[in-house]
Amino acid sequence: VVHWPFSATQRRKLNWVQLAGHKGNFRAADEGNILKKFSENEKQCFEKLRDDVLLPFVPSFHGVVEKDGESFLHMTDLLSNFDLPNVMDCKMGVRTYLEEELVRARERPKQREDLYRKMVEVDSEGPTPQEHSQRGVTKPRYMQWRESMSSTNTLGFRIEGIKKSDGTCRTDFKKTQSKQDVVQVFKDFVGGNPDILKSYLSRLKEIQQALKTSEFFKQHEVIGSSLLFIHDHKSNAQVWIIDFGKTTALPEDQTLNHDIPWQEGNREDGYLWGLQNLLDTLKSVSNE
C-alpha cells in the first residue's frame, strides 16, 4: 500500500462528474487519475483484467492507495482527455443484484424504510399493501422493482445518468423503459451527430468482440457494471467498461453464456443480450 502524497486541485474537481454511486466514494487524485473507495472484490477484478483481452476497454488500474486513513483504488480518470465532455452511464444486464443477495434477503429479510420511501417517491402504488403497512421493502425487492420500471428486464441495460457539456445533469431515468424512449434519450445525448454515433457503434462492436473471447468474462457473473459513454464537441467518442464492485467469480468448473435468460441458480446476467439490444438501439438512432 502506497500512502497518498498529493492533494487535489480545484480545477480537476470542477471537471469531474459522477453519475452513480455514493458521492463520498470518489476522490480527486493526481493529474489524469481518480480514487474510488476500496473494495476487495473490485481490486481482484482489476488484477485479473491485467491479463485479459478486456484490458484496453477498462480504466487503467494503478494499485491501492491510502488517503485520510481510508483505502482507495487508484485508476485513470476517463474524462481527463476530453474538453467539456458529455457523459452517459449505462448499467448492463437483466438484473442488478447478486443471487446471493436474493438468498440472504429470503433467509433474513430486512425491511428498509429508506428504500420504501425511494419507491413511493417514484410510484406511490409501487409497494404492496403489506409493504405500505410496514413502511419497508427489502433491498432485492427494491432492485427488482427498479428493474421492472426501467429497461433492465426488457432490454438488458438501463440508463443511469447523463451529464451534458452544457452543464445539465439528469439521473431521473428510473421510468425510461420502452425502446422508443431509450432511442430518444440517446438521440438527445449525441445531439444528432452522425460521427459520434458511428464512433460509439464501432467501439461497442469492438467491446462485443472482446467480451466474446474474454476468459475473465466467461468466468464471472457481471452484475451492476456499466458502459460509460464519453464524447465532446471535437467528436472524440469513447466507451469504457466500469464498475466491478459486484462482478463475482464463478466456481472453477462453471462458465456463463451471458446471452440466455436468467433463472435463479444459473447466475446468468444477460450482459451480451443487453449489449446486442444496445447496439440495435444505437442503430435505430442512426436510421431515424
> Under the rule (CB under 6 A), what is the footprint of ligand ATP?
17-22, 25, 34, 59, 75-79, 87, 89, 224, 226, 228, 242-243, 245
Q: Which of 8, 17, 20, 120 binds Mg ion (CB under 5 A)?
A: 20
The answer to whether 131 contacts Mg ion (rule: CB under 5 A) is no
The answer to whether 26 contacts Mg ion (rule: CB under 5 A) is no
Cα–Cα distance, 89 to 163 (Å, whole number): 9
Query: What kind and span of H or E run contains 94?
Result: none
When CB distances are held under 5 to 8 angstroms depending on the partner's kind, the choice from ligand ATP, Mg ion, none that residue 23 binds is: none
Would you state the cell numbers that stand for residue 233, as one nine-digit string?
Answer: 464537441
When CB distances are held under 5 to 8 angstroms depending on the partner's kind, the choice from ligand ATP, Mg ion, none that residue 79 binds is: ligand ATP
Cα–Cα distance, 201 to 237 (Å, whole number): 10
Q: List all residues 6 or more positions away from 288 whose beta carbon is below 8 Å from its beta carbon.
A: 183, 187
The answer to whether 30 contacts Mg ion (rule: CB under 5 A) is no
When CB distances are held under 5 to 8 angstroms depending on the partner's kind, the choice from ligand ATP, Mg ion, none that residue 71 binds is: none
**Cβ of residue 89: shortest distance to Mg ion, in angstroms?**
7
The answer to whether 17 contacts Mg ion (rule: CB under 5 A) is no
Closer of 93 and 224 to ligand ATP (Cβ): 224
Closer of 133 and 168 to ligand ATP (Cβ): 168
* Residue 225 · residue 41 · CB < 8 Å: no
The answer to whether 240 contacts Mg ion (rule: CB under 5 A) is no
**Taking the CB of residue 124, how many other CB atoms lie within 10 A of it?**
9
Distance from CA of residue 169 to its chain's centroid?
17
* Residue 265 · residue 259 · CB < 8 Å: no
**Cβ of residue 207: shortest distance to ligand ATP, in angstroms?**
16
Measured CA to CA in angstroms, residue 79 lies from 25, 68, 211, 267 at distances of: 17, 25, 23, 33
The answer to whether 245 contacts Mg ion (rule: CB under 5 A) is yes
Residues at the contact surface with Mg ion, assessed by CB under 5 A: 20, 226, 243, 245
